[in-house]
A and B are shown apart, each in its own frame.
Chain A
Amino acid sequence: MKVKKYVTVKHTGLGLHDIASVMTKCGDKMNHSTVRNIINRSFVKIAENISKKYELNHSKEEIFNIAKSPDFQESVIELLKRRQ
């Protein structure tokens, strides 16, 4: 089965292409795939840290699946909103 590279989470922000344009204009040249990879990597980083703190010893694949799950992403977004 083909592995999905995108996750659908309800949001009111920008699309990947638009973010790429914004970042390029701000000095970080990138395309939409890079934006997607950075988003995925960020969630993986968070999931990895949580797994490590709880000593759950998840495999890389498991962590990637957790990071991709909409529930996890929504929780992280909720916390980011509170940090504003």
Chain B
Amino acid sequence: MAAISADYSRIIKENPLLTKKQEIELSRRIKKGDELARKKLIESNYRLVISIAKKYHRRDLDFEDLLQESSIGLLKAVNKFDPELGYKFSTYACWWIKQAALQYINENSTNIKVPTHSRLLNAKIKKEITAFENKNGRNPTLEEISNLVDEPVKKIKYTLKSNKHIASIDNSNDESNTFSLLNKIEDTSEFSNPAASLENKELNQIVEESLSLLTPKEEKIIRLRFGINDNDNNFAKFPVTPEMRKYLES
């Protein structure tokens, strides 16, 4: 669960919700350049920022950062709000806050930035796939997805490929940052198990020594039998059977 810092809690406590009248009055003062009124309107609407940020918060995102980015949306809304149109400030501000939060998520949820339209299409594809699976009990083909979302197969393929989840091998799954993915990859180098490495080296040495016991004739026959030496694979000069030659040339 996302935790809110003490500063935000204090601001929320000190600034209760505003009435529609108060909002209009503050907005009019802001238009005239009143900085205090601006501060008051911003601080009174932090509650809305937190509420929206909580909805968009995911495990791989830092909540504090998401809150900061959503606050930028609130600042934009304060600057652009027109009290004369008659809407409540929260109605107008929530779109700016959502936009700022989504932009932050898009830029930070993966290491590779994916354009917003591609991310939205990916979400649409995922939704259609789930609906199709629930209805038909099987995965849809690319052509079927293409018909469902009304986009070409090539674009579907590209979108699914570019929106795949990417994990860094340095990232850890637990909070304590102790076990990264890198720690779970087996170390196959000879330093991981010196005893086994030494044993293997010794065995290799013995086998090498044993191989030198073979006479040149024996070694030549084994090489011919197992096709080891490239020079011996020049079969044209040897009287091989026609079937074998056909097989070797195929």
Contacts and interface: CB of A to CB of B under 8 A. Distances in A.
Contacts of B203: 50
Nearest to A18: B240
B19 interface: no
Contacts of A80: 211, 219, 222-223, 226, 228
Contacts of B7: none
Contacts of B6: none
A11 interface: yes
B248 to A, nearest CB: 8
Question: Secondary structure at chain A's binding surface: helix, strand, loop or mixed?
Answer: helix
A14 B227 contact: yes
B134 interface: no
B211 A46 contact: yes
Question: Secondary structure at chain B's binding surface: helix, strand, loop or mixed?
Answer: helix
Interface string B221-233: 1111111111000
Which of B204, B211, B241 is most buried by chain A, counting CB atoms within 10 A of its CB? B211
Contacts of A83: 208, 211
Nearest to B206: A53
A1 B218 CA distance: 29
Interface in B163-210: 203-204, 206-210
A53 B208 CA distance: 12
Interface string A70-81: 000001110111
B238 A22 contact: yes
Given A18-B238, A79-B207, A80-B222, A13 B227 contact: yes
Contacts of B227: 11-14
A41 interface: yes
Contacts of B223: 13, 80
A84 interface: yes
Contacts of A22: 224, 238-240
B211 A38 contact: no
A66 interface: no
Given A18-B241, A49-B206, A49-B209, A84 B222 contact: no
A49 B204 CA distance: 13
Interface string A11-23: 1111111110111
Interface of A: 9, 11-19, 21-23, 25, 28, 35, 38-39, 41-42, 45-46, 49-50, 53-54, 75-77, 79-81, 83-84
Given A17-B241, A79-B204, 5 more contacts: A11-B225, A13-B225, A42-B221, A49-B206, A84-B228
28 contacts: A11-B226, A13-B223, A13-B224, A13-B226, A13-B228, A14-B224, A19-B221, A19-B224, A19-B225, A21-B238, A22-B224, A38-B218, A39-B225, A42-B219, A45-B213, A45-B214, A45-B218, A46-B210, A46-B211, A49-B206, A49-B209, A49-B213, A50-B206, A79-B211, A80-B211, A80-B228, A81-B228, A83-B208
